[in-house]
Amino acid sequence: MTVSEKIVADFVANDVEFITTVPCKQLAGVIDAV
C-alpha cells in the first residue's frame, strides 16, 4: 500500500472528517490517488 492509498483509506475510515486537518500537499496526493 502506498502512502497515498493509506491516506485514501484513512480518508474513508474517518468519514472525510479529517480533510480539514490535512495539508494541501497531502490533499493533492489524495486527489491524484483517486
Q: Is 4 exposed, middle or buried (0-12, 13-18, 19+ CB in 10 A)?
A: middle
C-beta neighbour count of 27 within 10 angstroms: 14
Task: Give residue 8's Cα distance to chain centre.
Answer: 4
Q: What is the mean pLDDT of residues 1-24?
A: 68
Per-domain residue ranges of the chain: 3-33
This prediction has a pTM of 0.33
More confident residue, 21 or 8: 8
Q: Give the per-residue pLDDT at 34.
A: 62
- Does 2 score more than 60 pLDDT? yes
